[in-house]
Amino acid sequence: MPAAVSPIMSHDYLRMVEGFGLTGTWSWTFATDEHVWSPGLFRILGLEPTTARAAYGLLFTLVHPEDRDRVTSTSEMLQTGQMTQQTFRIIRPDGTLRTVMSRGEVIMAPDGRPLQAMGVLIDVSDREMLARAQAAERRRKRVLFEQTGAFTSVTTVYPYTDFSPEWLELVGLPLQALLEEPTLPVQKEERARWREHGRELYLTRQVVHTRPRLSLASGAIAPYRMVMVPMRNANGSGDGWVNYIAPLHLDGAVPGVMQESLEQLVRGIHLRAGRALLDWSMQQLAEAAGLSFSTVRRLEDEDVSASRRAFQAAIKALRTHGIVFSFMEDGTLTLGKV
């Protein structure tokens, strides 16, 4: 038989959970009209417990006017004795907007009379904001693809088992045909060259940088830049490739989505080369990157104890002072100074 949880433990656990500022609970005893709100609920609603009087009606008035028809009203709760899970927006007294998910229930007497209602509010604003941001990013990428023919994608394995929707749309060829011959969109006289070039770099997990002429779904033939950068997971092992496909006439700068993968290719020799271009000592790089001298030494010596975060800080410092990381067609990483 499971051990019972004491009221004190339950209260402490609830307080701990509400400490994250994302949940709050409420209850309403109908016979006495007693309303009890947890501190977390006050925080979500942007109210002060010392000045605001807990009441379901107050909560309802904070609901965004466009969402009120989706929220159980006081009269509906008393008449039907039911509450449904809802997601709606609230407008705090200071004007800020939050999105919350509400779950509640009404406790009924044996004769069917509603006795008490209770519920929980969960602040899902960040999740909603993330979803909206992701949707906006998808729309932005789609518009970019439609206007320029450029896109980014991820390949998990080689040889290929699938292709991105943008690639299939760009070249207008069926999936099965591309699986049988991935270089089919490339002009016939160039296929062997790019096929052998790409395969060797793929198998050795190096940057693949090609500039083939492609036959597009529109019937046009256009020179394209195709960059495939190997990704690594937290353990440092291979984890697919991130790809950038764009018409050759576009700026050859690598999109931000590929920056992290490219940074994984930076080694100690590149940091030393960057310092040399800036005429910096190791101490100057350490100060610019916010690192210790010993950390910079470990980075340049490629000591395995040096963290990836330290590498990124050093790279950022070099970039901030005009060092540009780029790569040649054979995948060799090079540096320059703006």
Which of 213, 200, 198 lies closest to 243, judged by CA? Answer: 198
Q: How confident is the model at residue 10 (pLDDT cuts 50, 70, 90)?
A: very low
- Note the residue count of the chain: 338
SS3 213: strand
The winner for highest mean pLDDT among 26-35, 149-158, 232-241 is 26-35
pLDDT digits (tens, 9 = 90+) for 185-194: 999 999 999 9
Fold equal for 135-254 and 266-338: no
pTM, whole model, 2 decimals? Answer: 0.53
Instruction: Give the H or E element holding residue 38.
Output: none
Please state the rounded mean pLDDT for residues 110-115. 82
**Residue 301 φ then ψ, to 5°:** -85, 0
Which of 189, 168, 297 lies closest to 176, judged by CA? Answer: 168
List the chain domain ranges. 7-123, 135-254, 266-338
How many CA atoms lie less than 13 Å away from 280 in the CB half-sphere?
23
pLDDT digits (tens, 9 = 90+) for 168-181: 999 999 999 999 99
How close are the terminal C-alpha atoms of the chain, in Å? 72
For the domain spanning 266-338, the CATH number is 1.10.260.40
Rounded Cα distance between 219 and 232, Å, is 37
Higher pLDDT, 233 or 4: 233
Instruction: Return the pLDDT at 133.
Output: 65
Q: How confident is the model at residue 154 (pLDDT cuts 50, 70, 90)?
A: confident
Instruction: Return the pLDDT at 238.
Output: 61
**Does the structure show a pLDDT above 50 at 2?**
no
Alpha carbon of 331 to those of 113, 209, 262, 265: distances in Å?
Answer: 75, 6, 11, 10
Rounded Cα distance between 106 and 119, Å, is 9
**Amino acid of residue 65:** P
SS3 91: strand
The set of residues, in sequence order, having a beta carbon less than 8 Å from that of 59 and lying 6+ positions away, is 26, 45
Which of 122, 107, 33, 114 lies closest to 78, judged by CA? Answer: 114
**Does the structure show a pLDDT above 50 at 33?**
yes
CB neighbourhood size of 69 (10 A): 9
Instruction: Return the pLDDT at 319.
Output: 87
| Rg, the chain, Cα only | 29
23 touches 101 (CB < 8 A): no
Higher pLDDT, 294 or 326: 294
Rounded Cα distance between 55 and 147, Å, is 53
Alpha carbon of 307 to those of 167, 176, 235, 264, 272: distances in Å?
Answer: 36, 43, 12, 12, 17
Which of 58, 39, 43 lies closest to 100, judged by CA? Answer: 43
Rounded Cα distance between 306 and 295, Å, is 7
Which of 102, 135, 101, 136 lies closest to 119, judged by CA? Answer: 102
- What is the CATH class of 135-254? alpha beta
pLDDT digits (tens, 9 = 90+) for 211-257: 999 999 999 999 998 888 887 655 555 668 888 899 988 765 555 55
Instruction: Return the pLDDT at 17.
Output: 47
Which of 283, 271, 251, 276 lies closest to 315, judged by CA? Answer: 271
Both tokens assigned to 108: 């009924």
DSSP single-letter state for residue 329:
T
Which CATH entry fits the domain spanning 7-123: 3.30.450.20, 3.40.710.10, 3.90.1150.10, 3.40.50.300? 3.30.450.20
